[in-house]
Amino acid sequence: MRTRLINPEEEFRRYRQRMEIGAVVAGIMLLGLFVRFVWLQVVQYDRYHALAENNRIALVPAPPSRGVVYDRMGTVLAHNYSAYTLEITPSKAGKMDDLIDQLAAIVTIDVGDRKRFKKLLAESKNFESIPLRNQLSEEEAARFAVNRYRFPGVEVKARLFRQYPFGESFAHVVGYIGRIGQKDAEQLEATGRSANYRGSDHIGKLGVEASYEHWLHGRTGIEKVETDSSGRAVRVLSRTPPVSGHNLWLHVDSRLQQVAERMFGEYRGALVALDPRNGGVLALVSRPGFDPNLFIDGIDQASWEVLNHPVERPLINRALRGIYPPGSTIKPFMGLGGLELGLRQPGDTISDPGYFTLPGSSHRYRDWKKDGHGMVDLKKSITVSCDTYYYGLARDMGIERMAGFLRQFGFGQKSDVDLDGELPGLLPTPEWKQRRFKQPWWPGETVIAGIGQGYMLASPMQLALATMTLATRGMVYKPQLVKAWQDPLTGKVVHATPTRMGKLDFNERNLRLVQEAMVDVMLPGGTASGAGAGAPYLIAGKTGTAQVKSIKQGARYDEHRTALLHRDHALFIAYAPADNPKIALAVMVENGGHGGSVAAPIARKVMDYWLLGKLPDIGPGPAGSAAAEGGAAEEEQEDSVSLEERPLPRVEAGVEE
């Protein structure tokens, strides 16, 4: 290494040179930064702008308030109220059991709350908040607020709650809402409605709440909120207000509904009352009912078990889903069919020996009256409910023609009432039997179909609809629950127009004959003369009995001995006033025995209230309890024609042997 002497000038020149290089490099690097800034702030601006906006702006759904449901008089059947809930977001909370224990020290949390919470927790996703306690008092809410810092993931929310003030009276009409479950969410997703349910926890599950969900729910609004990095809302930037759901008015009259409900007493059963002038559903009762309020935020196990009692089955809407053999209530329709198809003339009479046999068979299809009704024409066949007449008529008509004629009245198909879950019932044909059982149709099956037994099944709704069609002289209306609705934006109330499904053309004379026969049913000599007694208006009715257990050939039917559960279902259809129908109804009383003694009195009270405004003396099931004793009053027996005879065992359907 050589040591050299450097003169200051050279040293300074080199320094200047190095410095210039340094300055140029620094300049280039600053230019590089500038290029980077141009890239970020000009070229990529849109992207970063969007990212910053995403950071800052949160869209918070503003759930709408659900539409209120009223009855025809404006009585509230379902409404909303505001209250506090204590809610836990599991993903943010710690160990759940400890947490609930600690919370229990501040607000009351009972065993039911815990159970329900566990159930909801198991069903939910982790990031949803789940209510632990509903309807906190002001004091409890305040006490929690003080301790809030101790419970991350727990908060008190003010929410709108649904309430059904009539409790179980309208459970099967109005139904209920419940928390949106997995299936509901999938359904909403599939129908493209999930955006509108952001922020909603509940959805209609049953009844009007379910079938009018699209109107009742309303439109979810959106709040554009500026949030800071911890997600706390700083201010509201803009707001699309939610639009409340439609308010609905039903045709149902809450007092009529309650009258009908009370008349059932302890009996299980169903009643459907329609307005023949427009098809409006005036009352729809299914007994026993249940309290829909239990379902809104998840039902606890104990209540759930009660509701799933194997016999009571309050959750089954018997008016729509209870399908029974229509029994003798089919006779007016069969009779009209006989006349219309030219198989019978009004004056044609048969001599009733108390049974019917098919040619070449010794099997006896028995009349409910052991010794027969004597000479019976069409009118009398309805009035006294003669089975033999219809055995013969059915054979002459044949099952195909029978099905074809009855179908016009709505049997075997859904009524399309604006409620979900209706069953179509069954109008059997040989083709159906072949398909269903891979068996041929037996002639005997046609015979018993003539008195509404065998395979034939109908719901109370179908019976009411068919009865209404008789009352309207063939005008078919679609049964309709909703009478009017209010557009939440304009406030305008729109009345539903009755939906006419068609007009059945019957010979005027034939129709009148059947109608007169039904009026006679309610008069002395008719099978429901007891229920019709003293009515200041004309009632057209028909009793019926749906057999629960088939009775062996030759065996005697003794309802005293038969276990209560094996007693027949009592049926009754009617419309009134017969000369200017304002109500048409069908009543079914499970294990009620005879239609005339149990079902018809219920119908009478309902008609009295509707037509006369007369409230029945409310006792615990006035019509029911007497019959439940087993000693049905004789004058109310279907077989009241023969008062001198003691109540007879009665078989409406023979069984092929």
Partner 1 sequence: MIARLLRRLFAHLDGPLLGLLALLLLISLATVYSASGASPEKMVAHLRNIGIALTAMFLVSHIPPQRLMQFAPPVYVLGVLLLVGVALFGVVVNGSRRWLDLGLARIQPSELMRLAGPMMLAWYFHYKQSTLGPRDFVLAAVLLALPVGFIAKQPDLGTSLLITASGFYVLFLAGLSWKVMVAGAVTAGAALPLAWNYLLHDYQRQRVMTLVDPMSDPLGAGYHIIQSTIAVGSGGMAGKGWMGGTQAHLDFLPERSTDFIFAVFSEEFGLVGNLFLLILYAAIIGRGLWLAASAPSLFGRLLAGSIVLTFFTYAFVNMGMVSGILPVVGVPLPLVSFGGTSMLTVLAGFGILMSLATHKKLVKT
Q: Among all residues, which ones are annotated catalytic? A: 328
Nearest approach, Cβ of residue 39 and partner 1 (Å):
9
Nearest approach, Cβ of residue 157 and partner 1 (Å):
24
How far CA 141 is from CA of 88, 163, 510, in Å, comes to 14, 21, 71
Shorter beta-carbon distance to partner 1: residue 191 or 229? 229
Contact between 387 and 650 under an 8 Å Cβ cutoff? The reply is no
Rounded Cα distance between 575 and 435, Å, is 37
Q: Considering only residues 222 through 261, tell me which ones interact with partner 1, judged by CB under 8 A.
A: 226-230, 234
Nearest approach, Cβ of residue 35 and partner 1 (Å):
10
507: which residues sit within 8 A by CB, 6+ positions away? 339, 340
Contact map string, positions 197 to 216, toward partner 1, x by CB under 8 A: --------------------
Nearest approach, Cβ of residue 18 and partner 1 (Å):
5
- 458, β-bridge pairs: 324
Structure tokens of 225? 């909120």
Angle between helices 331-340 and 399-407 (to 10 degrees): 110
Contact between 294 and 268 under an 8 Å Cβ cutoff? The reply is no
For β-strands 247-250 and 69-70, DSSP reports them as parallel
Which of 11, 186, 189, 371 lies at the binding interface for partner 1 (CB under 8 A)? Answer: 11
Segment interacting with partner 1 (CB under 8 A) among 20-28, 205-213, 378-386, 483-491: 20-28
Segment interacting with partner 1 (CB under 8 A) among 27-35, 128-136, 314-322, 404-412: 27-35
Segment interacting with partner 1 (CB under 8 A) among 29-37, 206-214, 271-279, 347-355: 29-37
Angle between helices 111-123 and 96-104 (to 10 degrees): 150
Shorter beta-carbon distance to partner 1: residue 140 or 226? 226
Q: Does 407 bind partner 1 (CB under 8 A)?
A: no
Shorter beta-carbon distance to partner 1: residue 2 or 509? 2
Q: Does 646 bind partner 1 (CB under 8 A)?
A: no
Q: Considering only residues 594 through 623, tell me which ones interact with partner 1, judged by CB under 8 A.
A: none
> HSE-up of 324 (CA within 13 Å, CB side)?
31
Segment interacting with partner 1 (CB under 8 A) among 31-39, 366-374, 378-386, 447-455: 31-39
245: which residues sit within 8 A by CB, 6+ positions away? 64, 65, 66, 67, 215, 216, 217, 218, 488
Shorter beta-carbon distance to partner 1: residue 26 or 564? 26
Rounded Cα distance between 114 and 100, Å, is 8
Site for partner 1 (CB under 8 A): how many residues?
A: 43
Segment interacting with partner 1 (CB under 8 A) among 9-17, 173-181, 185-193, 382-390: 9-17
Q: Does 509 bind partner 1 (CB under 8 A)?
A: no
Structure tokens of 296? 């809104």
Shorter beta-carbon distance to partner 1: residue 6 or 146? 6
Shorter beta-carbon distance to partner 1: residue 12 or 81? 12
Nearest approach, Cβ of residue 236 and partner 1 (Å):
14
CA nearest neighbour of 588 among 271, 283, 287: 271
Q: Does 28 bind partner 1 (CB under 8 A)?
A: no
> What is Dmax (Cα atoms) for the chain?
153
Rounded Cα distance between 166 and 283, Å, is 14
Shorter beta-carbon distance to partner 1: residue 27 or 631? 27
Q: Does 111 bind partner 1 (CB under 8 A)?
A: no
The label of the residue with tokens 């803009």 reads 238
Phi, psi of 228 (to 5 degrees): -90, -175
Shorter beta-carbon distance to partner 1: residue 232 or 438? 232
Give the number of other Cβ atoms within 10 Å of residue 595's Cβ: 33
Q: Which helix (H) or strand (E) holds 202?
A: strand 202-206
Q: Which helix (H) or strand (E) holds 540?
A: strand 540-546
Q: Considering only residues 517 through 536, tell me which ones interact with partner 1, judged by CB under 8 A.
A: none
Nearest approach, Cβ of residue 33 and partner 1 (Å):
5
Shorter beta-carbon distance to partner 1: residue 20 or 186? 20
Shorter beta-carbon distance to partner 1: residue 54 or 497? 54
Amino acid at 47: R
Segment interacting with partner 1 (CB under 8 A) among 13-21, 338-346, 457-465, 487-495: 13-21
Segment interacting with partner 1 (CB under 8 A) among 24-32, 399-407, 465-473, 558-566: 24-32
User: The dihedral of CA 608, 329, 469, 213: what is its sign?
Assistant: positive
Nearest approach, Cβ of residue 105 and partner 1 (Å):
34
Segment interacting with partner 1 (CB under 8 A) among 12-20, 110-118, 125-133, 476-484: 12-20
How far CA 253 is from CA of 273, 280, 609, in Å, comes to 10, 10, 11
CA nearest neighbour of 220 among 65, 82, 83: 65
Which of 19, 533, 565, 612 lies at the binding interface for partner 1 (CB under 8 A)? Answer: 19
User: The dihedral of CA 559, 563, 564, 565: what is its sign?
Assistant: negative
Phi, psi of 533 (to 5 degrees): -60, 130
Rounded Cα distance between 121 and 101, Å, is 16
The size of the chain, in residues, is 657
Q: Does 191 bind partner 1 (CB under 8 A)?
A: no
> HSE-up of 49 (CA within 13 Å, CB side)?
6
Nearest approach, Cβ of residue 60 and partner 1 (Å):
16
Q: Considering only residues 33 through 72, tell me which ones interact with partner 1, judged by CB under 8 A.
A: 33-34, 36-38, 40-42, 44-45, 47-49, 51-53, 55-56
Shorter beta-carbon distance to partner 1: residue 29 or 564? 29
| Helix, strand, coil percentages for the chain (3-state, nearest 5) | 40, 20, 40
Nearest approach, Cβ of residue 413 and partner 1 (Å):
59
Nearest approach, Cβ of residue 52 and partner 1 (Å):
4
- 59, β-bridge pairs: 224
Nearest approach, Cβ of residue 230 and partner 1 (Å):
7
Structure tokens of 315? 């959750």
Q: Considering only residues 259 through 318, tell me which ones interact with partner 1, judged by CB under 8 A.
A: none
Shorter beta-carbon distance to partner 1: residue 4 or 561? 4
Nearest approach, Cβ of residue 91 and partner 1 (Å):
15
Structure tokens of 420? 């979900």
Contact between 594 and 570 under an 8 Å Cβ cutoff? The reply is yes
Contact set with partner 1 (CB under 8 A): 1-6, 8, 11, 14-16, 18-19, 22-23, 26-27, 29-30, 33-34, 36-38, 40-42, 44-45, 47-49, 51-53, 55-56, 226-230, 234
